[in-house]
Structure 1
Amino acid sequence: MTEIAAPRAATAAPARMPSTLRVGLSRAALETRMFFREKDAVLFTFSFPIILLMIFGSIFSDQMEGTGLSVSQLYVAGLIGSATMTGFQNLGIGIAMDREDGTLKRLAGTPMPPAAYFIGKALNTLLVSFLQVAILLAIGVAMFDLELPSAASSWLTFAWVFVLGVLGSSLLGVAVSSLPRSGKSAAAVITMPFVVLQFISGVFIPLSQLPDTLARIASFFPLKWMCQGFRSVFLGDAGATLELAKSYELGRVALVLGAWLVGGLVLCLTTFRWKGRRDG
């Protein structure tokens, strides 16, 4: 009698790994939860630009001659630019701390695609910056007579300046996170240049009142162009007379922010380290 062979067990299909984007979205949700759990950091992040706006907007509330605009409205646009660039400071310090406590080293040893970590950081930064901008706009409208634009083209300009600014700033934050020798020194190393940039980029002091040398230095960095782009949205044609070129130069704004986006990516690829210097 012919012996009937037993059927072979079906070979189990290997588990399919989730896509990098899906892992990045999950990482973004985790980063957001961790951010909002740190009550002190949340309070400082959102209250600091509000306090600055209230102080500067209340003290310097005079009308700017020939424009129909107040100095406080100029501060609203400038602080929106500053809020858009907070990713530079937050990511630079946060990633340095992750490197110091071994978080990056542990993540590098997991199956998680490296890009997912940065996607999570960038999306979290987009959310936090958007919330900051929304709060500043609400205060500007309620207390400083800021008029929101009605034209769709103005909001389109706001969108691309915001997205390019946040992503470029995030990449620069990732790149500079490798500069501090330790997580403890990260705040001092990264906060100082960010504060200096705010003073020379039109956030607190109009560019027309700065020495030419400082204005030229500011033109090499993205914050000056981000503030200029936001002034074009919220101050309109009347505010263009306050610019050094008597124009918002939106084409140049897009060119500079795009260049910093590409340059930031190159810096990240060439300088980022998963391990601390003490780890070799």
Structure 2
Amino acid sequence: MSTTTTTAGSTAPTTDARARRLPGTLRLGLVRGGVELLEYVRERDSVIFGFAYPIVMLAIFATVFGDDDPIVADGVTVSFAQYFLPGMVATGVMLSTYQTLAISIAVDRDDGSLKRLRGTPLPATSYFLGKVFLSLTTVLVQTALLLAVAALAFDVPLPDDPARWVTFAWVFVLGTAAGAVCGVAYSSVPRSGRSASAVVVTPLLVLQFTSGVFFSVSQLPDWMIDLSSLFPLKWIAQGMRSVFLPDAFAAAEPSGAWQPGATAAVLAAWLVVALLVGTRTFRWRRHDDG
């Protein structure tokens, strides 16, 4: 270790040596993630409603339609709850990543938190890692609760084929990563924290209706499917259907197949594009603050 000699003859570490002892970006990101998680759980109403939304929607649709309205594809029948589950898993991913990050970052910018953080030694990367850590934690808990309720309350059969869980894992991870980066990039769109909810939630709500989340994709017009195919939610939902539905239901998809390659390519493309856009457009200050 390089040192410098003080006037008293003792040695003190140089600036470079002190810098080497500072926590790394990843460690700071994990610490920041703990702070984000603590702040999140303190907002109990947000936690309850955020976790409850997919579960409540599954319960409502499964109860309204029930066994009287099964979904049939190529001679194979599943309950509406089983067909609806993949869309709710996909929605939960986007709620906990894109929506949570876009709104929370916009609020942090509006109340000056981002500006103050920018003036601290905390690297920007660590701040974003903290947000991603929060999103990953919440989406894992939310998805686990949703699957448990679906299996225990609505008798939805979960996959027993390890290959399907492998598909679930990579769609989940890639969808979560794409949604998180999209949330960071989109957070610069709202002009204030007050308008963030409307600006962020509205397009996601529209996409839920056009991406085969609330309805069977066979009931949607072609132009709507083509439009929704440009966005991640449709592909996350389709990837999840390939996990939780029988293979016969692939014929009900617009392409007549599950398209795992296309799903991976589209989600990866959104991950890269949103990352590039976000690094160029991200704002640490409010729009009216220079």
**Offset, 1:132:** 1.1
Q: Deviations 1:8-47 (Å, cap 9, x if unpaired)?
A: 2122354321110000011111111110010111111011
Q: Secondary structure at the match of 2:48?
A: helix
Question: Where do residues 170-189 of structure 1 align in structure 2 (5 Å cutoff)?
Answer: 170-189=180-199
What is residue 243 of structure 2 aligned with on the other side?
Answer: 233
Distance (whole Å) between structure 2 residues aligned to residue 145 and residue 77 of structure 1: 15
What is residue 3 of structure 1 aligned with on the other side?
Answer: none
Percent of aligned pairs with the same amino acid: 46
What is residue 224 of structure 2 aligned with on the other side?
Answer: 214
1:138 lines up with 2:138 in the alignment: no
Q: Secondary structure at the match of 2:252?
A: coil
Distance (whole Å) between structure 2 residues aligned to residue 236 and residue 117 of structure 1: 41
What is residue 11 of structure 2 aligned with on the other side?
Answer: 10
What is the RMSD of the two structures over their aligned residues, measured on CA atoms?
Answer: 1.4
**Offset, 1:231:** 0.7
Residues 72, 279 of structure 1: CA spacing in aligned structure 2 closer, same or farther, 3 A cutoff?
same
The answer to whether the 8 A contact 2:51-2:142 is kept is: yes
The answer to whether the 8 A contact 1:77-1:227 is kept is: yes
1:75 lines up with 2:87 in the alignment: no
Q: Secondary structure at the match of 1:68?
A: strand
1:126 lines up with 2:141 in the alignment: no
Residues 18, 253 of structure 1: CA spacing in aligned structure 2 closer, same or farther, 3 A cutoff?
same
Question: Where do residues 32-181 of structure 1 align in structure 2 (5 Å cutoff)?
Answer: 32-61=37-66, 62-65=69-72, 66-86=75-95, 87-181=97-191
What is residue 27 of structure 1 aligned with on the other side?
Answer: 32
The answer to whether the 8 A contact 2:71-2:83 is kept is: no
What is residue 4 of structure 2 aligned with on the other side?
Answer: none
Distance (whole Å) between structure 2 residues aligned to residue 161 and residue 248 of structure 1: 12
**Offset, 1:184:** 0.3
Q: Which amino acid aligns with 1:69?
A: V
Q: Deviations 1:48-72 (Å, cap 9, x if unpaired)?
A: 2111111011112222232221122
The answer to whether the 8 A contact 1:69-1:239 is kept is: no
Distance (whole Å) between structure 2 residues aligned to residue 186 and residue 210 of structure 1: 29
> TM-score, normalised on structure 2?
0.92
Query: Would you say how many aligned residue pairs link Structure 1 and Structure 2?
Result: 275
Q: Which runs of 5+ in 2 are unaligned?
A: 1-6
**Offset, 1:238:** 2.9
The answer to whether the 8 A contact 1:69-1:238 is kept is: no
The answer to whether the 8 A contact 2:70-2:77 is kept is: yes
Distance (whole Å) between structure 2 residues aligned to residue 10 and residue 108 of structure 1: 33
Relative to structure 2, which stretch is displaced further, 58-67 or 39-48? 58-67
Q: Which 4+ runs in 1 deviate beyond 4 A?
A: none
Q: Deviations 1:93-115 (Å, cap 9, x if unpaired)?
A: 11000000000000100001100
Distance (whole Å) between structure 1 residues aligned to residue 178 and residue 37 of structure 2: 20
**Offset, 1:7:** 8.1
Q: Which amino acid aligns with 2:9?
A: R
